[in-house]
Each structure stands twice: as C-alpha cells, then as structure tokens.
Chains A and B, each alone.
Chain A
Amino acid sequence: MAVSAALALAPRLRLAQRDPAAETEALLGLAGWAAQFSPGVALEFPDTVLLEAAGSLRLFGGLSPLLARLRRDLGDMGWSAALAGAPTPRAAFWLALAGSGRFVDSAAELEPTLAPLSVAVLRCEGETLEALAAIGVRTLGELLALPREGLARRFGQRLLDQLDRGLGRLPDPRNFFAPPPRFRAAIELPVEVVQAEALLFAARRLIVQLAGFLAARSGGAQRLVFRLRHRDRPATEVAVGLVAPSRDAEHFTLLARERFAGLSLAGPVREIALEVDDVAPLAGHSLGLLLEPGKPQGDWERLLERLRARLGAEAVRGVAARAEHRPELASAAADPDTRPLRLEFGERPLWLLQNPRPLEEIGARPHHEGPLDLLAGPERIESGWWDGGDVARDYFIARTQHEALVWIYRERGGGGWYLHGLFA
C-alpha cells in the first residue's frame, strides 16, 4: 500500500528507510559471530544464517544448551531471531521463516512437519503465488500432493527442484562463509548520544559479536578500537589495549566501561564502530581438575589492564634500579617485570622524596620536626658533571625526635641541608 494510505490508517506510524547495504553488512557480521558454533555457516540473503549444527551438538552439550546460548547471545546483540532446524538447509529455512520454531530430527517427520507451512516460504515471484492461490493451493502439503509433471509444466522445473531439495531428494550444496581476517562492525544509534556511558549499551553488542568472531578464529584480540562518528567532526577513536590477547566478552565489557567512564565526548555520537585489525592465535585454556579452596587464581594481566583502563597507563608502573650515583636517578618508574640489575649501593632509604625538601638549620643542626641526630655518614656523592645535572652532596642518616630515620644531605660548597628520603 502507498505511504499516504498507511499514514491515513495509522497517523502515528514511524517510517524507516530500508538500507540494503547495512542489512548485508549486519548479516555478514552475524555470520562471523555464528562461525564459533560450527564450521559450516551459509547465508541466505537477506536475513537468514544457516548453521550446520549436527557436528557441534556434542561439544555444546546438546541441542537445548546450544539454542539457549544462541538465543542469549542474539539477545545481547539486540537481534530478535526465529530459530528452527531440519535435516536439510532449505527445510530449516522454511521452518524458521514460518516462525514455527520446530526442530525436526529425522527425514521421516520432515514431510508432515512441512505440510502446514504456507507457500509464501518458497519466496517465489508474485505471479507464481497468485497462480497458486488461484488454484487453491495455500500450504506446502497441498502443493506436494499435486502431480509432479503438471507442476513442472505449469510453474517450471525450478519450483519442483526447490521442493525436492527441501525434502532431501536432491542435494543442496552451499558455499560456506569464510570469516574475514579483520573485524569490523558498526551500530547506528537510534538517538544521538551525548554521554559516554550511554554508549556502553551499543558497545556491548559489538563486543558480543567480536567475541563470537574471535572464538570462530580461535584467536584473541589485543587492541580494540572504538570509532565514534559525529555529525560534523572527524570521528573520535577510543582504543582499549590489553596486555595479553583475550576473547572474553565480559572482560572486554569491563575494560570498555572503565574507558568510557571518564570520557568526555567532543560532540553527539551517531554511530559507534568497533575495529580489530590483528587477531592473535589464542588457544582455550583447560580448567584444573581439583577444586581449590578460596577464590580461583586471578589473572595478573587482567588486573593490570583494569587498573590502567581507569587510572591511565602512567599511574600503574613498576620500579627499576639504574646504574647511577645520583640518588634521584638511581630509581625510575619502569614497566613491571623489568629484569633487575645487580648493583651495589650504600645504605638507602625505602622512600625517596620526589623533590628534596630544604631543612632549616638552627644552631648548626638541621631540623625536621625537631632537631635531627646524625647517626651515620657522611657519604659523599659527586656525580653528573657530564650532563649538567651535577651533584655534590654529603649524605647522612639522621634520626628525628620521633625516632624515625631519615636520609638527609648537605650541599657541598656551602649549601643548605635537605631531606631526601625516609627509612620506613
């Protein structure tokens, strides 16, 4: 019916334009996700994915667990789907299209199950459907009851072949879908989003699809790039980096949540895309046999990733010693797991102050929360003349009035006293 007629009948109708390119892309994305369940994935455009599941049933624990998982993931991704199964792909397609939700095990039950389906599942051209309606054939059962030569003569051999393929009398080979090497998926947001947290909903759908894609490739991703498209500006890129490759959807969601939590958007976002370029091989891990008391062993890399995602990579570092006499340069922030150097130092405090604090000198004694007692020293350090940061200091270990030990120095050449470290 025409648009104007539809609007006349239902004035509050919302119209949306069909976008065939986007539909194709979405179907391909779904096929990439579905490849984790079976090596045999075929597409029936524009809206169907066929899975050869017989070989996978044992791995997933039977038909019901597999269906439950499919439904759950499809729900997480935001799709509403009709599932059905049959011994032949075409019959499964007809059953799903009709929304019957039946799963037929054996070829013997196939014909009776298909009988009540409407002939519209054949997706023939309009004139064939009208002709069938004219002779009073509305269901597949009635169609199959007609004589074969008459059907072929009236509606063409193709229709007959289609029926034969559906019933398993003729072979129906399919081209299997091969997942692409890179992952690309995008979701156009129904409303322009201004807060970064609201993007999580769409991001989660993309992540579930990514996890399926990675599982199908037996791989893991180490860098996820979210591209947020604005109306007038160039797209914003939000990268989530991992220490070790992973394909855990929950872990990705957690990291994405931390990343988006503090993000301020340059402008309203209309579309969010997820790109993963490098897929690293990642085998699954086997669980231990014995149950240990307490929590299971955690993942160090995951903890690092989570801390870095929220606090920033600079805030989460290790320390490493450097071969330097100047105390402030002998220890530096480094990546954790840096191989330690074997160096000999004198007695050194556990805490070093970021900037040495000047101490006042009263009666020729340095003061820090009271007069300091010098206990050991001086240790003379003169170094650094070659790069302009030369130091010439006499270091002492001193004790404060509260009996805490501190590391202080006096600048040579008539300088003052400074506090440089605390022996904690």
Chain B
Amino acid sequence: MSLSFSALLGRPDIWRGDSLSRAGRSFVYSVVPSGFPALDAALPGGGWPAGVLTEILPAHEGIGELRLLGPALAGISQRGLRLAWIAPPHLPYAPALAAAGIDAAKLLVVRTASHRETLWAAEQALAANACGAVLAWPREAQYAEFRRLQIAAEGGRAPAFLFRLPEAASESSPAALRVALGTSGGGLAVNVFKRRGTPLARPILLPAMPPAVRGKSHVDRHSTAAAAARDFPARLVHA
C-alpha cells in the first residue's frame, strides 16, 4: 500500500509545528479583527481572541498600546456591545474616544482602591459575560490570580486585555496571547511572543500614530521650543 507524504500530512491526528491554530479545529472561539491586516495575519484565528486573556506589554506607557486596540474597540462599541475598563492609569478622555470611533456611551470606567479590588472587578466583568471587551490594568499579580481571570473569561465572547509592565515578559503567564510593544522609526513594533502555535519570528511594524503627526517623524531633534512654535502652523481656538 503506497502512502503519499502529503496524504499523511493531511490526517487530522497529525499536528504540524508550523501551523497556526485555525477556527474549526480542536477549539472554536470567535475573534475580533484588530483593524491592522498585517497583525491579523499573525494572530491565530485572524484577530484578537475572545474568551481568553491577551497580555499587552508596552515598553513605555503611552507608545501606542490603546491606539493598537482602537479599531477593535471602535468596532465592538459600534455593534452596541459594552466596554469595561478596570483601573485605568489615567482618565479616558471623551473627545479622543469619539475621534477614535469608540462610542463613549458604551464605556464603563471602574476605579478601584486596591489591587485586590482590581482583580475582583476584572473577574466579575469577565464572568458576567455582559461586555464586548474587558481591559484591565492590574499591578503585578501572581500566576494564580491570572489563572482565575482566565477561568472567568472562558466561554465568554469578549476578548480580555491585560496591560502589564515590560519586565513581566520573562514571567510565565496563562494568557493565550502575549504581545510586547516597542517603537521603531516612529511606528509601533508589535512582537507577538506567545500565541497558540509558533511564536512570531520578527515583530510586525504598524504605523500607529495620530494623523496630525504622521509624516513628521523625522523632525529635527535639535530645534528649540521657540523655533518649533514658529515653524508649525498655529491653530487659534478662541472662545
């Protein structure tokens, strides 16, 4: 009996190490498209996974971690689903949310007084399965606490995003997807260092910057503040 190699590889009980898991195999979960085609191609299922934890580890606060999620959150809120932000480090600014396409009426901001309250609120939001997405900013927590969040998220239809410090990349975590963010030449470098399937070989470069400064990434670093004020067009807002 002759057996061709390709027929052998096509058997369902053989797992290939270079294949990403696709929906329809051993588990089925829905995904939320990220809005960046280059990133979607690298994420299992083609987007942010629902019902599991996704960790985002920006190299510094403010390099673009929320702008990365912007299109996905906008899509979720436009579909009428809620967004729950647990213990964000600063106040979400409504005009910017509107500019990003996120419906502020669907946003719930939960301020907590302690680390335990943050974890509790995140667990409640995930277990309730009433939101379209849950974002949380836990301060450093133990593996067991993240495991509890993972269990709470299971079976739900919302992606869960946890923002952590870049040092946490070396710790183990039960999150199914872990993404480190850095900057490179004015754009965002997305390093998917843990996902279902093989880790990504090299980071994906995304142009994730607000429109006003697009194209100005090569500004002369040595210009003084006064000179800068002179060079750029001034917008006068008067009330």
Contacts and interface: CB of A to CB of B under 8 A. Distances in A.
Contact of B120 (A310, A332, A403): A310
Nearest to B211: A347
Interface string A11-46: 000000000000000000000000000000000000
A374 B66 contact: no
A380 interface: yes
A364 B224 contact: yes
A212 B155 CA distance: 32
B105 A351 contact: no
B107 interface: yes
Given A345-B95, A397-B213, A422 B128 contact: no
Contact of A340 (B91, B98, B121, B224): B98
B95 A311 contact: no
A347 B90 contact: no
Interface in B112-161: 112-113, 117, 120-121, 124-125, 127-131, 155-157
Contacts of A410: 225
A82 interface: no
A424 B219 contact: no
Contact of B90 (A333, A353, A366): A353
Interface string B210-233: 111100100101011110110010
**By CB atoms of chain B within 10 A, which of A299, A302, A351, A397 has the most?**
A351
A389 to B, nearest CB: 12
Contact of A319 (B94, B117, B120, B224): B94
Interface stretch (A124-132, A140-148, A290-298): A290-298
B7 interface: no
Interface of A: 293-300, 302-304, 306-307, 310-311, 315-322, 325, 327, 330-333, 336-340, 343, 345-354, 361, 363-366, 373-384, 394, 396-397, 399-400, 402-406, 410, 421-424
Given A340-B98, A365-B225, 7 more contacts: A302-B128, A316-B111, A319-B93, A319-B109, A351-B62, A374-B229, A404-B64
Nearest 4 A/B pairs, CB to CB: A298-B130, A404-B62, A403-B183, A383-B239
